[in-house]
Amino acid sequence: MRACLSLFIGFWVLASAWAADGPGLAPIGAVTGVDRDDRGLRLTCAGGSIVQLTVLAPDLVRVRALFAGRPAAPDHSWAIAKTEWAAVPWQLQEQAEAITLVTAELEVVVRREPLLIEFRDAATHRLINADARPMARDPATGRLEVAKRLGVDERFYGLGEKAARLDHRRGRFTMWNSDTPGYVEGTDPIYQSVPFYLGWEEGAAYGLFYDNARRSTFDLGQSGQEAAVYAVEDGDADYYFIAGPGMKKVLGRYTELTGRMPLPPLWALGNQQCRYSYYPDSLAEAIVRRYRREELPLDVLYLDIHYMNGFRDFTWDPQRFPDPAGLLARLQALGVKVVTIVDPGVKYQPAAAGAPREAHYAVFDEGMAGDYFLRRRDGSLWIGEVWPGKAVYVDYTRAEARRWWGDQHRALLDPGVAGIWDDMNEPSDFTDQTGRSQHDVVFDDLGAHTPYAANRNVFALNMVRATYEGLERLRPDRRPFILTRAGYAGVQRYAAMWTGDNNATWDSLALNIPMFASLGLSGETFVGADIPGFIGRASAELLVRSYELAFLAPLCRNHAAIDNYDHEPWRFGPVYTDIIRDYLRLRYRLLPFLYTTLEEAHRTGVPLFRPLVLNFQDDRNTLNLDDAFMVGDALLAAPVLRPGVRGREVYLPAGPWYDYWTGERIAGGRLLWVEAPLERVPLFVRGGSVLPSTDPMHYVGEHAWDPVRFDIFPDDQGGAAGTLYEDDGVSPAYRQGAFRRTAVNCSRGADGGWRVVLPAPAGHYEPGPRHLELAVHGAAAAVAVTLDGQALAARTEADATAGWWRDATGVMRVRLADDARPHEIQFR
């Protein structure tokens, strides 16, 4: 009886929670009519709502519900990169109870009454995803909901930048770009909004992208265990369903739809140093010289807001930086590029027509003359407050405004700035960070004149677009590099991102892995976090352990808040600097591998920084694993994430693995205890991979990659395969085929001998004369080595000419000239 009563009460509480969730939600009406055209179906519903199902690809179907009573909105999204899709065959099956749209991969079943949509695998008819209840909208507020059945063992990944663990099951998340300094695990929302997630059930994945930029929430089983509920304030229910079952395949489609990262300049993979703020110019230069004196690699120095004249965008402080071109040239001579911060808040500086020149701020004047700044419904300027005091914001939804903003970057590029750092673009406004008092700001939005609520989440996307297009126009022979804080789905087309104002704490360090991984599972591959945390005082140990993670992150950048203790790599003394130097040098050694993996992300949408589940989605031990990560398919890192810890457990999925440090071959499919003294991050190479590398250098381009090394780590059958991608690293010529792809394939013959084949490289980039070096790990001593059938001479390591030797650790190595011709090497 007691149990019964509490059960009843429990149910009552739950039921009222649902009611509170949407008192006025009215379910969409039953299907009353079906029209088809060549791209899909248009369903008419009782009550006048329309549901459009559009087949974009065999595994990609768009569902758009146009609710009755809502004014028709133009079909436009700032997130979508591809709107033209080649027609693919599909069939319509009409049954009494349902309508089914069948593509080569998917069955989309629409139950007529109530209207419920299911996605099934076309081959097996297995249910992938289904509505838990009909889509619904509150006619009074415009709020709408889509509820999907929540599988007992369903997992959720992605959702862009979330201060949360990897598997989002049972979580609730809001999409509303927010300036959240010092965020911790659980702070939500933070800077970016990417309303896309990957679901995983029984080894099969699918993707759901809810493309509506207004404030939305994802309740993935937090307030009830029968539905994963998406709710959005207003607008259309507009979502894309992507069939897997491979997570990589889903990501490929998602990034085909929302765009992929263009290749950044290679130097963006170099080590970067930032601070709030380095000034005057002599201090900025001293930091770079210190890097060189310490023999620490460095490619980029950032200038934070104090380089500007009174925090005015596109100006230089005449006292602190009297000669920007001179400074930048001196840094360039040391191999260092400069990236400058740009904030969206333009100083509000009205000056009377006859006022002296000093009273004018050209950027404000021009913006006013062009009417580029955002206004409220009553026509008044939206005047917010940021660093320069009162500030106005550009309407980046207008093409002319974007072009004008892009052109402003001339003031930075002309003296030699190499990249742009777009901060505060949530957009942050000190007068009100919630957006509530900006609700009456109107955006042009292609003439639709939509409210702030529909535009806040895409503000940064449009700002970095303006910046990217400006940089492309001003320097057509250079690849733009832009770093952004806020963003929306598709932001990867224009900018790299960093995770904002994190803390210099162990918790914050640990959060890097699920955050980078989730971003990668949301289309954003070029990501990083402030090393060792923006806010707070780091210990030497935290700094070192941070580098032991970040040396493998796409963006590797040290940064600190204005009132922080300094934490550049040398601040705690040589014992620590030496360890950090080793990791930075290792990063530069691995640049060929990192760049190859980055190019894969550019081409396929599969990220560089990966959670293990992305490479091993059938291995249930990886579903929750976010204290380790992989770079590409080949490298697994298990950083130490707690103070005082000098060893840890590492889970290695099936397969042979190799300890990166010792070369020892290790069986996978098990937990392993690994020693991790301060100077050591547990690092493993997956059997079957080929890792390209070169010698370390102080900055990208200091030397050519010579030799290019291929470390071959055979699997159980003796096989291994890998590639190296390279190009000029700076220009867009790679888009026209100016790259070189060198493949390496290793196999083991029945006689126990090894065979390494290098086909002729692809592409027409010419890296210049150099040597290739091949190493087969775990191969027994050879007695004879042939190159293209000719005996190859045994040599010592010191001898630079072609030949073979066994190195000090017993690994077989071969050196040959890289003549861009196919080769075959045999060991016996």
Q: Which residues are catalytic?
A: 423, 426, 501
Q: The tokens 């899909």 sit on which residue? A: 40
Question: At its nearest, how many Å lie between ligand MIG and the CB of residue 603?
Answer: 31
CB of 491 to ligand MIG, least distance (A): 16
276 binds ligand MIG (CB under 6 A): yes
Nearer to ligand MIG, 559 or 686 (CB): 559
Q: Which of residues 522-541 bind ligand MIG (CB under 6 A)?
A: 534
The 3-class secondary structure across 313-356, one letter per residue, is CCCCCCCCCCCHHHHHHHHHHCCCEEEEEECCCEECCCCCCCCC
Q: Which long-range contacts (CB under 8 A, 24 or more apart) does 644-652 make?
A: 644/541, 645/676, 646/675, 646/676, 646/677, 646/678, 647/673, 647/674, 647/675, 647/676, 648/673, 648/674, 648/676, 648/682, 649/673, 649/674, 650/674, 650/682, 650/684, 651/612, 651/621, 651/622, 651/625, 652/684
**Sign of the CA dihedral 566, 569, 574, 576?**
positive
Residue number with CB closer to ligand MIG (453 or 556): 556
Nearer to ligand MIG among residue 559 and residue 648 (C-beta): 559
Cβ proximity to ligand MIG, 181 vs 574, nearer residue: 181
811: number of Cβ within 10 Å: 16
Q: Which is nearer to ligand MIG, 339 or 700 (CB)?
A: 339
Q: Please tell me the distance from the alpha carbon of residue 273 to that of residue 86, in angstroms, as a whole number.
A: 45
Q: How far is the CB of 506 from ligand MIG (least distance, A)?
A: 20
How many Å apart are CA 728 and CA 484, to the nearest integer?
25
Which of 341, 418, 681, 700 forms a contact with ligand MIG (CB under 6 A)?
341
Q: What separation in angstroms does the CA of 84 have from each of 80, 87, 283, 370? A: 11, 9, 51, 33
Q: Does 304 bind ligand MIG (CB under 6 A)?
A: yes
C-alpha span between 664 and 667 (Å, rounded): 10
The Cα–Cα gap between 656 and 624 comes to: 22
Under rule CB under 6 A, which residues in 427-456 are in contact with ligand MIG? none
The distance of closest approach from Cβ of residue 534 to ligand MIG in the complex, given in angstroms and rounded to an integer, is 6
**Within positions 550 to 569, which residues make up the interface with ligand MIG, using CB under 6 A?**
559
CB of 705 to ligand MIG, least distance (A): 32
Residues with Cβ < 8 Å from 309, sequence gap 6 or more? 315, 316, 317, 318
Nearer to ligand MIG, 463 or 700 (CB): 463
Q: Does 317 bind ligand MIG (CB under 6 A)?
A: no
Omega within 30 of 0 (cis) for the link into 139? no
Cβ nearer to ligand MIG, comparing 250 with 342: 342
Rounded Cα distance, 626 and 613, in Å = 9
220, 261, 305, 495: residue in contact with ligand MIG (rule CB under 6 A): 305
Percent of the chain that is helix, strand, coil (3-state, to 5): 20, 30, 45
Binding-site member from 485, 567, 587, 709 for ligand MIG (CB under 6 A): 485
Least separation in angstroms between residue 454's CB and ligand MIG is 25
Among residues 380, 371, 387, which one has the least CA distance to residue 437? 380
Pick 532 or 714: Cβ nearer ligand MIG: 532
Residue selected from 105, 188, 201, 423 as contacting ligand MIG according to rule CB under 6 A: 423
| Structural element, H or E, at residue 754 | strand 754-758
Beta-sheet strands, E only, within 540-646? 556-558, 609-610, 629-631, 635-637
241/534 with CB nearer ligand MIG: 534
Comparison of 272 and 693: residue with beta carbon closer to ligand MIG: 272
**CA dist., res. 658 & res. 637, Å (int):** 12
Minimum CB–partner distance for residue 428 and ligand MIG (Å): 8
How many chain residues interact with ligand MIG (CB under 6 A)?
Answer: 12
How far, in Å, CA of 488 to CA of 26, rounded?
29
Cross-strand pairs, 193: 488
**What tokens does 373 get?**
């700044």
- Residue 734, interface with ligand MIG (CB under 6 A)? no
Question: Which residue, 135 or 341, has its beta carbon nearer to ligand MIG?
Answer: 341
Compute the half-sphere exposure of residue 582: CA atoms within 13 Å on the CB side of its CA: 13
Site string for ligand MIG, 451-480 (x = CB under 6 A): ------------------------------
List of residues 6+ apart from 278 with CB closer than 8 A: 284, 287, 301, 302, 303, 304, 306
Alpha carbons 297 and 581: distance in angstroms, whole number: 8
Interaction pattern, residues 223-262, with ligand MIG; x per rule: CB under 6 A: ----------------------------------------
**One-letter-per-residue 3-state SS of 181-226:** CCCCCCCCCCCEECCEEEEEECCEEEEEEECCCCCEEEECCCCCCC
What's the closest the beta carbon of residue 195 comes to ligand MIG, in angstroms?
Answer: 23
Taking the C-alpha atoms of residue 399 and residue 376, their distance in angstroms, rounded to an integer, is 19
3-state SS, residue 695: coil
How far is residue 91's CA from residue 104's CA, in Å, rounded to a whole number? 9
Burial class of residue 106, CB neighbours in 10 A (0-12, 13-18, 19+):
buried
d(CA 502, CA 357): 41
Cβ distance to ligand MIG smaller for residue 151 or 344: 344
**Position of minimal CB gap to ligand MIG:** 276
With binding defined as CB under 6 A, does residue 501 bind ligand MIG? yes
| Cα within 13 Å of Cα(545), Cβ side | 27
CB of 225 to ligand MIG, least distance (A): 37
Q: How far is the CB of 245 from ligand MIG (least distance, A)?
A: 38
CB of residue 360 to ligand MIG, shortest distance in Å: 25
Region 178-207 residues binding ligand MIG, contact defined as CB under 6 A = 181
- Residue 474 phi, psi (nearest 5): -75, -30
> Is residue 500 near ligand MIG by the rule CB under 6 A?
yes
Integer Cα distance of 401 and 408 in angstroms? 11
Q: Which is nearer to ligand MIG, 532 or 767 (CB)?
A: 532
Residue 385's SS3 state is strand
d(CA 416, CA 246): 44
For the bound state, the minimum distance from the C-beta of residue 283 to ligand MIG, rounded and expressed in Å, comes to: 16
Query: Residue 731 CB, nearest distance to ligand MIG (Å)?
Result: 29
Taking CB under 6 A as the rule, does residue 345 contact ligand MIG?
A: no
Strands 216-219 and 172-175: antiparallel
- What does the binding site for ligand MIG look like in residue numbers (CB under 6 A)? 181, 276, 304-305, 341, 423-424, 485, 500-501, 534, 559
